[in-house]
Amino acid sequence: MNRYSKHIILDKIGKSGQEKLSNAKVLVIGAGGLGCPVLQYIAAAGVGTIGIVDFDLVEASNLQRQILYGTKSLGKNKALEAKKHLENLNDEITIVAYPFRLEHKNALSLFSEYDIIVDGTDNFATRYLVNDAAIITNKPLVYGAIYKFEGQVTVFNYNNGASYRCLFPQENTQALNCSQIGVLGVLPGIIGTMQANEVLKLILEIGDVLSQKLLCYNALNCSMQIISYSKNEAAIAAVLNNKANFKHTVETATCLSSNEIEAETALALENTLFVDVREPHEEPKLHLDNLLAIPLHQLEDNIHKIDTTKRLLFFCASGVRSLQAIQLLKLDKNTETYSIKNGIKSLLKYIKNEKIES
């Protein structure tokens, strides 16, 4: 029996459909929680050319959900490790690994080599970059995103359809990626497999593509809701108008917002008050003389406890809630307020160990 016989006997696929798969070129951005199941299923299905972009290395905490990797993969590049694993899965297809970071300067040339783009990235800056490059190169983009126990799937830029900027126009968002928060291991498996399904439907031209429809899945109650959204012509036109400058766009992922401060700098300042906005159970605790602990949600009610004549240095686990704290308090402009970038982790690097109770 042929490797693809179960496909070929399906009326909606047949030999011609399998040939379409074999001729298709799919580029997967990010070989993490979402990328792994996408890659596994499209490789098994016989997608002829698969590109994998990922600069990152396999860490132990990835193995709970990034199913292409094992203990022996630790410390190795994900794109290269995924390629190795997939070549074992299917030796009849071509797999190209791009073991570097997707950036504005390399995205357009990379995307132009493929028919379909899959977004399996883990941060907003890269998601907007992937979206804009897909618009400029006119490629359909299969989007998946996860948060703890919930996931979203949709297809952008399909037959001149809506894009990520039509669904979520605001670029400054504070949701975290999976390295900073927990995620149920099987969740990216479910969402990534749905993305793989959309990829196959696009190639085979069967079924209804999830264009301008956002599928929202909740693993805890198994609810699935499909939300419609519309195309925003102006948002897409703005991306296309910027085409000439696209390659020269400075990457935003590492930019500091005006209120953010490096831990090292913060610790060197005088007349400071550190404010820990984490919940009481969060560890490790920090012991400093000039420290106040008020969880974010109690901050407004306890504003009187904060000495606003001091330089206020807010911190949390990652630097997200501390930024929210500043926005929330809207203190007088005479008060200097800062959010410590990367929060407690970064502070611990510069504070002597004996002060830490873990």
Classified as helix, coil or strand, 153 is strand
- What would the 3-class secondary structure string for 171-233 be? CCCCCCCCCCCCECCHHHHHHHHHHHHHHHHHHHCCCCCCECEEEEEECCCCEEEEEECCCCH
DSSP string, 287-321: --TTEEE--GGGTGGGGGGS-TTSEEEEE-SSSSH
Active site residues: 178, 316
Length of the chain: 358
Residues 231-270: x/- map of binding to another protein (CB under 8 A)? Answer: ----------------------------------------
For position 132 contacting another protein by CB under 8 A, the verdict is no
| Count of residues interacting with another protein (CB under 8 A) | 47
Residues 6 or more apart whose CB falls under 8 angstroms from that of 42 comprise 26, 28, 50, 196, 199, 200
Round the CA-based radius of gyration of the chain to a whole number and report it.
Answer: 23
Is the separation of the CB atoms in 139 and 114 below 8 Å? yes
Residue span binding another protein (CB under 8 A) among the ranges 43-51, 90-98, 116-124, 274-282: 116-124
Nearer to another protein, 21 or 34 (CB): 34
Nearer to another protein, 99 or 120 (CB): 120
Among 26, 183, 261, 294, binds another protein (CB under 8 A): 183
The minimum distance between CB 206 and another protein, in angstroms, equals: 24
Q: What is the dihedral of CA 195, 120, 321, 278, to 10 degrees?
A: 90
Residues 6 or more apart whose CB falls under 8 angstroms from that of 127 comprise 119, 121, 143, 145, 164
Residues 73-102: x/- map of binding to another protein (CB under 8 A)? Answer: ------------------------------
The C-alpha atoms of residue 314 and residue 337 are separated, in whole angstroms, by 7
Among 39, 43, 80, 214, binds another protein (CB under 8 A): 214
The minimum distance between CB 1 and another protein, in angstroms, equals: 36
The minimum distance between CB 105 and another protein, in angstroms, equals: 22
For position 358 contacting another protein by CB under 8 A, the verdict is no
Q: Which of 27, 85, 26, 82 is nearest to 57 (CA)?
A: 82
Upstream peptide bond of 284 is cis (omega within 30 degrees of 0): yes
The minimum distance between CB 325 and another protein, in angstroms, equals: 10
Residues 299-318: x/- map of binding to another protein (CB under 8 A)? Answer: -x------------------
Among 48, 147, 247, 273, binds another protein (CB under 8 A): 147
Residue span binding another protein (CB under 8 A) among the ranges 114-122, 134-142, 304-312, 334-342: 114-122
Site for another protein in 21-60 (CB under 8 A): 30, 32-35
The amino acid at 42: I
The C-alpha atoms of residue 171 and residue 157 are separated, in whole angstroms, by 18
Nearer to another protein, 103 or 150 (CB): 150
For position 328 contacting another protein by CB under 8 A, the verdict is yes
DSSP structural state of residue 77: B
For position 67 contacting another protein by CB under 8 A, the verdict is no
Give the relative orientation of helices 78-89 and 35-44 as an angle to the nearest 10 degrees.
30
Q: Provide the binding-site residues for another protein, judged by CB under 8 A.
A: 30, 32-35, 119-124, 127, 144-148, 150-152, 167-168, 170, 172-178, 181, 183, 188, 214, 216, 225-230, 296-297, 300, 324, 327-328
